[in-house]
Amino acid sequence: MGEVATRMTALQRAGKKALVPFVTAGFPTRDVFPRLLEEVFRFADVVEIGVPFSDPLADGPVIQHTSQVALEQGVTLPWILEMLADRQVRASLSVPVVLMSYLNPLLQVSDGDVFERARRAGVAGVIIPDLPVEEGAVYEAAARDQQMDLIYLVAPTTSRERARLIADRSQGFVYLVSITGVTGARDAFPAETFEFLRRMRALTNKPLCVGFGISRPEQVKRLAPEVDGVIVGSSLLRAIMEAPSDPMGAVRRLLLPLRRALDESSSPLAINSE
Amino acid sequence: MHYEQPDERGRFGRFGGQYVPETVMEALLELERHFQSAWRDEAFRRRFHHHLEEFVGRPTPLYFAERLTEALGGARIYLKREDLCHTGAHKINNCVGQVLLTLRMGKRRIVAETGAGQHGVATAAVAARFGLECIVYMGEIDMERQAPNVFRMQLLGAEVVGVAEGSRTLKEAINAAIRDWVTNVRTTHYLLGSVVGPHPYPMMVRTFQTVIGEEVKQQLLEREGRLPDYLVACVGGGSNSIGLFHPFLHEESVKIIGVEAGGRGTGLGEHAATLSFGTPGVLHGAHSFLLQDRFGQIANTHSVSAGLDYPGVGPEHSFLKETGRVTYVTVSDREALEAFEELSELEGIIPALEPAHALAFLRRLIPHTSKEDIVVVGLSGRGDKDLQLARQAMEEYHHG
């Protein structure tokens, strides 16, 4: 079992819900990013770091934009791993870090095994949005060799049989895509989203985290009872984008209310025990 | 020689596969089931061939290029006249097949990508014929350089959506089409225009385009009583070439050549010759050769021909390159423009800039052939869409 699984299981047992922010590596700039990451850690249980890719076809306009900005600044996977391995950053890594990367940048790492290098940099898990379970066996094995978690996604369109298979094979948590579509904030979630979350809850005991389209405390309050954690990406990046002079403040202003909404959704027992 | 590809998981050797967001996985599995059952259904195949005859105008002629043969002084040159298909290119063969499949799946909305606009026009035409809603994504640069095709699509009732991201060409148009499909997957079929993308697209598009090579085989047997010695076709994504090549892959005596866009140089970004200069990786759902930097970021490409201007290639071509069954070569913008002029003057046929690449390669191939040899060139489309662009480029070459 990897660190993500350990953390998620511990939270689950304590009746607490996980906040999983997503940030694009090197955004808004390579210099600011390590400090920004530290700020994100303060509110997070697990952090996803996005490896920018030229063709992010599962992503909406915000992550397309942040990826492009990061690429223009020369952000590469080797840079990300070096940055994470830096002693100061490493010391501030208070929660498990998961890399979110399209498959191709991982495939092109030529000097040595990419999972081994990621592990040495302190990465606990990997999410690959264009890797369905049918193509995943070889990457699962590579992750397992490094005691890392390979996290799979399940969508509302996924059949029952495949959902069970994916839940079985996903390590750390199961990433539930809230709605058919690409990443990016939504005003509201349809009834279908909640039916989907309940269907998944009935199917597996693995920790479930829901992502895509979540931006507001009210949404978190409605979704949290159905799952073990929520993932917040585009809205966080948009907030950072819109506050170029105060990115840390933007992180705080967005994540603090979400953190509170989640803690209120945790079981009373968990709150009392704090 | 036995040839049976892909395997049941959509693999051509180590290439192919299904690298897509989970949201569309079930749609791919459903598409594969429907395609397999449709292709086994005699009635479906009859309907497909009926519309190819009546709507597309098949069979297309296998034309003996007498004056071009004389001018080059070697092998007898035949042109497979896909330029005479309705809407002006081979693309429509695949569109008829996929639209019939869309109806069979009970979907009423189609999204497509287009580069040169040929696939977009063909999709819009077939969608109009069968009353389906049609949205075509097109890079803004391509909308500019292929403006007449934008109006054609609109006239045919399609909504053309400009894509302003990244290189603003075919690659981004595919990204945008996939994002639409991911969002509307329950009601929408993605009508991919080439032998690229996740399984079953490379296999399915090949199947619908194989009519090209099957006709050539029959027509040449009637005319010459034998198989060709050489097949030559241009390769962007690779659908017209696979359609021509496929029925001959197991015929060892037939030498097969795919011609890529050499653009204006050999540096990354100056050409679109994926198989000649690329390396393996994953883009748009399949493992195949790609033009990319060493960190796996997809490169921008250049070709005078919008239809070849793509940093990927169909996984089956990657397999055919690695096994050596097909030889892949490059032809520059300039050579393609010269061949464009030459065919117009000698045969009274204005080719599209894409097959002009295949024609240009004849200047290098024919000196190595004898007068008894037979070469078949895939003339995948006509040049009407390219007139303005060709005039500009030719003026530059002639005066600069």
The predicted-structure confidence for B145-204, as pLDDT tens digits, reads as follows 888 899 999 999 999 999 998 888 899 999 999 999 999 999 999 999 999 999 999 999
Residue A52 is given by DSSP the state P
Mutate to test the interface with A, among B8, B14, B23, B30 (most CBs of A within 10 A): B23
In the sheet with B279-283, reading across from the earlier edge strand, the strands are B11-12, B15-16, B286-290, B279-283
Give the pLDDT score at A272: 43
Residues A112-137 have pLDDT tens digits of 799 999 999 999 999 999 999 999 99
Q: What is the mean pLDDT of chain B?
A: 96
Residues A162-203 have pLDDT tens digits of 999 999 999 999 999 999 999 998 888 999 999 999 999 999
Spatial separation of the C-alpha atoms in residues B343 and B148, rounded to whole Å: 23
Buried b (16+ CB within 10 A) or exposed e, A227-246: bbbbbbbbbbbbbbbebeee
Do B281 and A104 count as a contact with CB atoms less than 8 A apart? yes
Chain B CB contacts of A192 under 8 Å are none
| Distance (Å) from the alpha carbon of B177 to chain A's nearest alpha carbon | 9
Do B290 and A107 count as a contact with CB atoms less than 8 A apart? no
Residues A39-95 have pLDDT tens digits of 999 999 999 999 999 999 999 999 999 999 999 999 999 999 999 998 777 777 789
R_g of chain A computed on alpha carbons: 17
pLDDT band with cut points at 50, 70 and 90 for residue A268: low
Residue type for position B11: R
Residue type for position A27: F
* Residue B297 burial (10 A CB sphere; 0-12, 13-18, 19+): middle
**Is the pLDDT at A273 greater than 50, yes or no?**
no
| Distance (Å) from the alpha carbon of B171 to chain A's nearest alpha carbon | 8
Q: What is the ipTM of this complex?
A: 0.95
Task: Give the CATH superfamily of A3-149+216-260.
Answer: Aldolase class I (3.20.20.70)
Mutate to test the interface with B, among A180, A193, A234 (most CBs of B within 10 A): A180
Three-state secondary structure readout of A29-48: CCCCHHHHHHHHHCCCCCEE
**Is the pLDDT at A1 greater than 80, yes or no?**
no
Residues A87-108 have pLDDT tens digits of 777 777 789 999 999 999 999 9
**Averaged pLDDT for residues B45-74:** 98
Residues B147-159 have pLDDT tens digits of 889 999 999 999 9
Percent of chain A with pLDDT over 90: 89
Spatial separation of the C-alpha atoms in residues B85 and B93, rounded to whole Å: 9
**Is the pLDDT at A269 greater than 60, yes or no?**
no
| Residue ranges covered by each domain of chain A | 3-149+216-260
- Global pTM reads 0.96
Residues of B with CB under 8 A from a CB of A: 9, 17-27, 165-166, 171, 175, 178-179, 182-186, 281-285, 290, 292, 294-298
